[in-house]
Amino acid sequence: MSYPLTIKNPPEIKKILCIKPRGIGDALLSTIIIPNLINYFKNAKIHYLTEPYVKPIIEKVYGIEKVIDIRKNELSIITAKKLKKENYDIIFDLWCNPKTAQITYFTGAKYRVGYSYKGRKYAYNITGTSGRGEGHTAEHNLELLKASNVPVISKEIRLNIDFDNTVKAADFIEKYKIQEEKITSIIPSGGWNSKRCVPSKWAEICKILLDNYQTKIILLWGNDDVEDKNEIEKLLSGKVIYTAPETDILELAGFISKSSLVIANDSGPMHISAALGTPTIGIFGPTDPEKFKPYIHKSGYLFHKELQCIICNKLECPYNHECMTHLPLNNLTEIVDKISRLKRVSR
């Protein structure tokens, strides 16, 4: 592919904006470009444009100086007018939907980088591929660096939480005298209903873990997970599991950082876990695990690959949610043995 414009003098670049408005996981995966921008544009400050609920996590990514809110219903021209005052030299539109294309275009930045998706190429003077990528979605973000002739020297996604974010987790672990090296955290959260594993399967997962490993299970949850939390607790009556107090997203990250293993739906928390370096198992149904699996070497996933409707990409299941209700767990211990530090129960 030939590019109509190239960035010829990296030292002249003083300010860069990256745009990824929503999806905690999507936004976090897009930060794979940050170490490469830091390496190539050594004099540049890097900003991120994202929605308010994503902001707390992106603020914890090393190398990002400022995170700017974008309001979901704000007119593109209003957002662009605010951004224009920042005088960005380069804008990387890592979302490239119609709205972010308009925002990028109206800023008038010298270099405007985006994918060459149909109907949006007008907004950019440096364009990457028009495809959605064959590999992991994290690495698809690197296509915009290649289009800009920015060397890819790192494929690392690094999240750095503060001590304050771990206090609630540390207090909880101390209260119940739990050894950190034996903690398995399960997280039933999920942005789509179709992505959420059903409570009965979470209960099965917990029973397998308790029967086979020297581990303590902590159930992590947020305000959208109350019903699932209650049902999981009910199904595990008589089993020793620990339910964490309700957490915000950074407190949840604090619990994850204390864990030896995390099992989560395909969700923001799953990607947070991977970015923190915690061994992670994802649960997949409507989305492709090869594209969205935890982006960390010590990872695996559970997936009902034999289903005809698998990887439907539907927000709501039009059938009976078989990808979750019939989720096979026969290889769970094999995955755990491969990636985690948990010790087997002596027989």
Check if the beta carbon of residue 279 is closer than 8 Å to that of residue 202: no
Q: Report the percentage of the chain scoring pLDDT > 90.
A: 90
pTM of the model: 0.95
- pLDDT of the residue at 2: 43
Q: Which residue, among 184, 341, 205, 226, has the nearest Cα to 283 in the 3D structure?
A: 205
Q: Which residue, among 68, 145, 85, has the nearest Cα to 113 in the 3D structure?
A: 145
Give the CA dihedral 243, 245, 248, 251, nearest 10 degrees.
-80
Residue with the two structure tokens 């209650």: 230
State yes or no: pLDDT of 142 exceeds 60: yes
Check if the beta carbon of residue 194 is closer than 8 Å to that of residue 273: no
Please, which contacts does 73-82 make with residues 24 or more away whose CB atoms are closer than 8 Å?
Answer: 76/102, 76/103, 76/106, 77/102, 77/106, 79/49, 79/103, 80/104, 80/105, 80/106, 80/107, 81/106
Q: What integer is the mean pLDDT of 183-196?
A: 95
Residue with the two structure tokens 């503060």: 162
Going by their DSSP bridges, the two strands 90-93 and 66-69 should be labelled as unpaired
Q: What integer is the mean pLDDT of 237-248?
A: 93
- pLDDT of the residue at 334: 97
Q: Which residue, among 320, 318, 314, 213, has the nearest Cα to 263 in the 3D structure?
A: 213
Same CATH fold assignment for domains 10-147 and 163-339: yes
State the pLDDT confidence band at 75, using cuts at 50, 70 and 90: very high
- pLDDT of the residue at 191: 87
Residue with the two structure tokens 């949610």: 321
Least confident of 37-41, 111-115, 175-179, 198-202: 175-179
Q: What integer is the mean pLDDT of 217-237?
A: 95
- pLDDT of the residue at 180: 79
Cα–Cα distance, 333 to 92 (Å, whole number)? 41
State yes or no: pLDDT of 32 exceeds 60: yes
Cα–Cα distance, 177 to 345 (Å, whole number)? 19
State the pLDDT confidence band at 1, using cuts at 50, 70 and 90: very low
Could you report the per-residue pLDDT of 324-344, keeping only the tens digit for each?
Answer: 999 999 999 999 999 998 989
The residues, ordered by sequence, that sit 6+ positions from 55 with a Cβ below 8 Å of its Cβ are 67, 69
Packed helices 249-257 and 167-175: angle between N→C axes, nearest 10 degrees: 50
Q: Report the percentage of the chain scoring pLDDT > 70.
A: 98
Could you report the per-residue pLDDT of 200-222, keeping only the tens digit for each?
Answer: 999 999 999 999 999 999 999 99
What is the CATH superfamily name and number for domain 163-339? Glycogen Phosphorylase B; (3.40.50.2000)
Question: 164 in the Ramachandran plot: left (φ > 0), alpha (ψ -120 to 50) or beta?
Answer: alpha
Its CATH class, for the domain covering 10-147, is: alpha beta
How high is the mean pLDDT of the chain?
A: 95
Residue with the two structure tokens 């947020």: 222
- pLDDT of the residue at 347: 59
All structural domains of the chain with their residue ranges = 10-147, 163-339
